[in-house]
Structure 1
């Protein structure tokens, strides 16, 4: 009886269908166990959704100026008061400082008339908004305050995030594509091709990276397209080295020999067999490159070589806010917070992907 049960169990083991697990599925399983990586993925997804849906969100124009609303404090810290109330409070606070500095107890007639004029404007002024409608601009509520030209900080941060994230993603995409092509050719072909490509990489590595970008921006002009090109053209070097190393370790594998024996050409072997097998490393490296591009753009904007008006980026918003940060700290705090949170999220996600795709990782869950 026992022998019969054992035989049936053995038969069952041989006939049972075993489902394989792909590298991507296995990586996703490990990634889900990494709480910080999932947090980063959620934050990055939210940023992406807000940036994509910005045109249909109920936001004020990022470029529309209301000069009466210059440097208004955030409504979220002031009882969600509208722009008119905050403007009046700001003028009254200023006049109180004038009284204190001049050792006076009462406002002058001119000062009273000024406040009366402001109250009248708040109640009755009508102006054309971004959509061409005639409305009272002082009923606006600026959740994160306004900048030095009376523009809504919330809208500028969201649209600035569009520009910063676009530069990070497109710059990473271009640099990765260039790096894959040169790195794969150098690793697979070897010999003189490898020597020439890697010597070019070594020479460019010896040059100061940011200085090259600054020179390119100074020569070709200060606009978003030149910034994107300048960052991309000198950022593919590390990708090429990483891909070259991966290709060298794989080019003598059995699946490559099998592809060659079936008549596959050089380009087919490289881009249909070798490069897909380095996808994990490339994905991880790409997620870690996006924050670097955003930081580089922010640095250039801080120097005045980045995004120019009317466009904005997180870096240009921080640069605009530095001069008046003691009087209007909200102009510096909110763009810096938005950029810092996104950069942390991308780094958490990149670290999580690195651990998930690396089967020998010491942090494997």
Structure 2
């Protein structure tokens, strides 16, 4: 009978989880769009076209939508004033708009998801906002993994006073008001994307450090570790070549489940006005901008909010699927 590796077995069970596979494909599509955003034929995310402010989502040319919007607004004024024809000023403006639409190629643009208060394309801003949000999530996750794995592995393998010191530091940092510290850092050091990376990753490594420590403690007295010690392997080699590879499944699951939490943290900071600075945008800052005008211009809120929600759900479905796939208990039950 051909032996089945942990990875083959996990992949086999992951494929049976339809929601996890759907989540995986959604995540791949999101990252592909974010990665290739510069070559996708969309309008520049920072370009302002003041003639196109607050255009609703439409597949029609911007000039046509703009003219229709002006006509509807003018008709409301005419109805309120009890007249049926344009004034001279309104007729002159209407003629000027027709001429401008016919001669200016910028009015041939299509805004399928609408525009914002400065005439910027919501589609391109949502895509580039996703690049920022996902980058912060990735950097936060990678930083948490690097710091947490190193400190957790050292604490679990070395034990004694090393373990006590590291775990007391973790306990102290757990007791600190994390979000308040992040807000204070952003307020003092300024709205800089690098500061945002550091602030979000500040205490994000604590949980993975505890998880890795527990796994290392349960494995460090195993026979394969004793064999490595007998062959003269150093502590570093034992940790990084023998112990950590046996905890990789838990680390992967933690990474997929923690990335959405980093995006949510960034979104919360951006909603408070402490996120990325203009002209850059993130999903959180776009949602914050959309809240102010959601009554009159609902697409400003709905587009980034729905986009972010779909990604967060996909990541959670994928994380849950990976957890079930790597869980030996579910293997035994099957």
Query: TM class by shorter-chain length?
Result: over 0.9
After superposition, residues 1-365 of structure 1 pair within 5 angstroms as 18-75=1-58, 80-125=59-104, 136-361=105-330
Query: 1:105 offset after TM fit, Å?
Result: 3.2
Q: 1:320 and 1:239 mapped to 2: Cα distance?
A: 34
Query: 1:272 offset after TM fit, Å?
Result: 1.1
Q: 2:145 and 2:80 mapped to 1: Cα distance?
A: 60
The secondary structure found in structure 2 opposite 1:147 is coil
TM-score normalized by the length of structure 2: 0.97
Q: 2:82 and 2:137 mapped to 1: Cα distance?
A: 54
Larger radius of gyration: 1
TM-score normalized by the length of structure 1: 0.89
The Cα offsets for residues 219-248 of structure 1, whole Å up to 9 and x where unpaired, read as: 221111110111112211111111111111
Question: C-alpha root-mean-square deviation of aligned residues, in Å?
Answer: 1.3
Q: Which runs of 5+ in 2 are unaligned?
A: none
Name segments (4+ residues, structure 1) moved above 6 Å: none
Query: 1:107 offset after TM fit, Å?
Result: 2.5
Query: 1:160 offset after TM fit, Å?
Result: 0.9
Query: 1:364 offset after TM fit, Å?
Result: 6.3
Contact kept, 8 Å, 1:355 with 1:364, in 2: the verdict is no
The Cα offsets for residues 285-341 of structure 1, whole Å up to 9 and x where unpaired, read as: 000011001010000000000011111111111111111111110111111111000
1:12 corresponding residue in structure 2: none
Q: Describe the shift of the 1:212–1:361 C-alpha distance in structure 2 as closer, same or farther (beyond 3 A).
A: farther
The Cα offsets for residues 237-276 of structure 1, whole Å up to 9 and x where unpaired, read as: 1111111111111111111111111111111111111111
Aligned residues: 334
Q: Which runs of 5+ in 1 are unaligned?
A: 1-17, 126-135
Contact kept, 8 Å, 1:355 with 1:363, in 2: the verdict is no
Moved more, 170-179 or 209-218: 209-218
Q: 2:124 and 2:163 mapped to 1: Cα distance?
A: 49
